[in-house]
Amino acid sequence: MIELEGIGRAYHMGEEVLHALAEVDLTIEAGEHVAIMGPSGSGKSTLLNVIGLLDRATSGCYRFEGRDVTNLADEELSQLRQRRIGFVFQSYHLVARLDAIGNVELPMVFAGLPRKERRRRAEAALDAVGLADRMEHRPAEMSGGQRQRVAIARSTIMNPGLLLADEPTGNLDTASGTQVLELLGGMNREGLTLIVVTHDPAVARRAQRVLILGDGRLVREWRGDEVTSLEQLFGLPESEGPA
């Protein structure tokens, strides 16, 4: 599904050049569950943004679902994101003035789906994440776990093949975080390709593969069931783990 060859991403800071990614080679098959970890500044979010077509690589080749997307026009990238990629963020990114069902309907509004079809699909999506009784609640009236489940319903409403989650449990308590991870895991078992950026070994253990980034490069790979601690992954004391 995802093929990266020699991917680099450089940013110009005045006369300096910052290499956020360097020579990244990576293949992720359809239906995989992959976690990305690394110290602060290692390039995790940049890699996720490149994979999600939110940012362009400055070198290398990216093939998504067999198609070379390296040099697609911005409009083509936007359409591809809308149809095939979902995003879940630590801070939810819900629209405060809209209720849950209104938030879930947003991607379908942009896609031009009819109102009745939007409502039908949004109701089914919220029911699937256990929020059938919260459809008319606004974000401020919901817990963090409920907000994240609304965000997941919204991110998957267009039936994407790929879901990218950046610290999806970072703002949640343990119980709510577990519910969100089980929900994402269930979607992955049904065939959704799932890539999660995390600093939490417990989250990484749920993945099939764990990719370790360092200074913009892929430096190591573990099986999810091999992960035990941050000290094991990065050689750091648990209290000094990556931000």
pLDDT in tens, 109-123: 988 999 999 999 999
Cβ–Cβ under 8 Å, residues 113 and 77: no
Residue 135's CB is within 10 A of a number of other CB atoms, namely: 17
Buried b (16+ CB within 10 A) or exposed e, 103-116: bbbbbbeeeebeee
Q: What single-letter DSSP state applies at residue 240?
A: G
Q: What single-letter DSSP state applies at residue 220?
A: E
Comparing 232 with 14, the larger pLDDT belongs to 14
pLDDT for residue 219 is more than 60:
yes
Q: Which of 204, 202, 234, 205 is nearest to 219 (CA)?
A: 234
Kindly report the average pLDDT of the chain as a whole number: 90
pLDDT for residue 237 is more than 50:
no
Residue 177, both tokens: 């975080």
> Band of the pLDDT at 230, cuts 50, 70, 90?
low
Q: Which of 98, 94, 150, 144 is nearest to 122 (CA)?
A: 150
Q: Can you give the pLDDT at residue 130?
A: 92
The answer to whether the predicted template modeling score (pTM) of the entire model surpasses 0.85 is yes
Looking at residues 130-144, what average pLDDT do you find? 94
- Kindly provide the residue ranges of all beta strands, DSSP E only, lying in the chain, ordered along the sequence: 2-13, 16-28, 33-37, 59-64, 67-68, 85-89, 162-166, 193-197, 209-214, 217-223
- Could you give all domains of the chain from N- to C-terminal order, each with its CATH number? 2-93+156-240 (3.40.50.300)
Q: Can you give the pLDDT at residue 227?
A: 83
Q: Which amino acid is at 137?
A: H
Q: Can you give the pLDDT at residue 100?
A: 96
